[in-house]
Amino acid sequence: MDFDLSPEQTQLKAGIDRLVGSAYGSLEQRNAHAAEPLGFSEKVWAQFVEMGLTGIPFSEEEGGFGGGPVETMLVMEALGRGLALEPYFASVVLGGCAVRLGGSQALKSCVIPGIVEGSIRLALATTEKQSRYDLFDVATVARSDADGLVLEGAKCVVLHGDSASHLVLSARMAGQRRDRDGVGLFLLPADAPGLKIHGYRTQDGGRAAEISLSQVRLGADAMIGEPGHGFPILERVAEFAIAALAAEAVGIMAALLQLTVDYLKTRQQFGGPIAQFQVLQHRAVDMFIALEQARSMAFYAAMMVEHPGAAERAAALSAVKVQINRSCRLVGQEAVQLHGGIGMTMEYRGAHYFKRLTMIESAFGDTGYHLKRMGDFGTAGQKR
């Protein structure tokens, strides 16, 4: 048992910290990146590629750099600290994971080198207006006709859906809307005829899109995984997503706590710094405890996300998300309260941390969703 980074990991961390620190040192820089046409900086994205970050989760045979969950954790933590806008999570973590875990050899060798080079950017299109967090709840359909597959339907809040070159999209091939079987997973180019993408800004300063599909034709090579067996792949994608979000949240919360503590020490009221008040000190300590509990769970996620036992792994990642969500809520709200009025303003970095933390809470399962899952795991194998 040790929590130390290897020399290579230490080097990687130093490199990412440097890159994110220079690209996202100030809120003005971030605002400038957000104002670019794609909603992020292509220059910074190219730096991610150059540093090899986009190749981290892929094996060397696949054309990547053979990193594991710990390497992804280091990247996501740094991206969180910087509130980076580039589509690393959407393309490399979510899309890349679907291709890596579900794709055929042919598909992988066609797509992964592009992800690593940054020329292919993926977006995961799974959420629908009725689905909430259930990845098997799919109303979009994929019908076979004489010429192949035809997609009909719509997807919501597709992260970076307006800048992606390709979508990883779920569609029903068989069964009823909420069946776990019968969901297909497809890779399709964003410029496919019949695909309409409506992009917009998200609450946390990023980008997302509403997508509609009308008579979208697919080639046979578009399938990720076996026909109708897409849901198990998506479950794994969600687990990797939770592990990555946990690390991002830890990066944000650590930065936000630091901002808050510094503010308490400098803000003068009643003839001295407000840090002199014990009631404020204790609230900052509560933030610290929430951060450290979250950090422990980010480690736990990195440890468990490749665990071979599916049930144990699923329960672990649900536990991680609950703790992360609760810590996000406490640290975010307390940071605003302890800052007072300035914490309420768009010009303050801390407010943006709070907004991103709030969005992390409702990504890939909110607290209620995962507690409910934990409750269900408790009765697994029992009658009811």
Partner 1 sequence: MDLRFTPEETAFRDEVRSFFRTQVPAGIRAKVSEGRALTREDYVTSQRILNAHGYAVPHWPREWGGQDWTPIQRYVFTEEMLLAAVPLPLQFNCYMVGPVIAAFGSQAQKEKHLARIANLDEWWCQGFSEPGAGSDLASLKTKAVREGDHYIVDGQKTWTTLGQYADWIFCLVRTDPTARKQAGISFILIDMKTPGITVRPIITLEGRHEVNEVFFDNVKVPVENLVGEENKGWDYAKFLLANERTGIARIGLSKERLARAKRLAKEMPAGEGMLWEERDFRERVAAVEIELKALEITQMRVVAAQARTSDNRPDPASSILKIKGSQLQQATTELLLEVAGPFALAAPDLLAPPHDGWPFDYDWADAAVASYFNSRKVSIYGGSNEIQKNIIAKAVLGF
Q: Does 371 bind partner 1 (CB under 8 A)?
A: yes
| Residue from the set 265, 309, 345, 346 that interacts with partner 1 by CB under 8 A | 265
Query: What x-and-dash track marks residues 298-317 binding partner 1 by CB under 8 A?
Result: -xx-xx--------------
Query: Phi and psi at residue 122, in whole multiples of 5°?
Result: -100, 155
Rounded Cα gap, residues 146 and 76, in angstroms: 45
Q: Does 293 bind partner 1 (CB under 8 A)?
A: yes
Q: Say which residues have a Cβ less than 8 Å from residue 239's Cβ, sequence separation at least 6.
A: 305, 313, 314, 317
CB of 380 to partner 1, least distance (A): 11
β-strand partners of 208: 159, 200
Rounded Cα gap, residues 107 and 63, in angstroms: 13
Q: Which is nearer to partner 1, 68 or 148 (CB)?
A: 68
Q: Which is nearer to partner 1, 97 or 302 (CB)?
A: 302
Rounded Cα gap, residues 240 and 375, in angstroms: 22
Query: What x-and-dash track marks residues 268-287 binding partner 1 by CB under 8 A?
Result: -------xx-x--xx-xxx-
CB of 11 to partner 1, least distance (A): 14
- What are the CA-CA distances from residue 352 to residues 51, 122, 237, 255 (Å)? 26, 25, 27, 11
Whether the CB-CB separation of 333 and 239 falls below 8 Å is answered with: no
Number of residues that bind partner 1 (CB under 8 A): 44
Rounded Cα gap, residues 111 and 133, in angstroms: 27
Task: Tell me which residue of 79, 81, 59, 56 sits closest to 69, measured CA to CA.
Answer: 56
Altogether, the residues listed in the chain come to a count of 384
DSSP 154: E
CB of 54 to partner 1, least distance (A): 22
Q: Does 292 bind partner 1 (CB under 8 A)?
A: yes
Interface segment toward partner 1; rule CB under 8 A; list 162-170, 194-202, 221-229, 259-267: 259-267
Q: Which is nearer to partner 1, 20 or 320 (CB)?
A: 320
| Residue from the set 261, 333, 355, 366 that interacts with partner 1 by CB under 8 A | 261
Q: Which residues lie near partner 1 (CB under 8 A)? A: 1-6, 9, 70, 261, 264-265, 275-276, 278, 281-282, 284-286, 288-289, 292-297, 299-300, 302-303, 319, 322-323, 371-372, 374-379, 382, 384
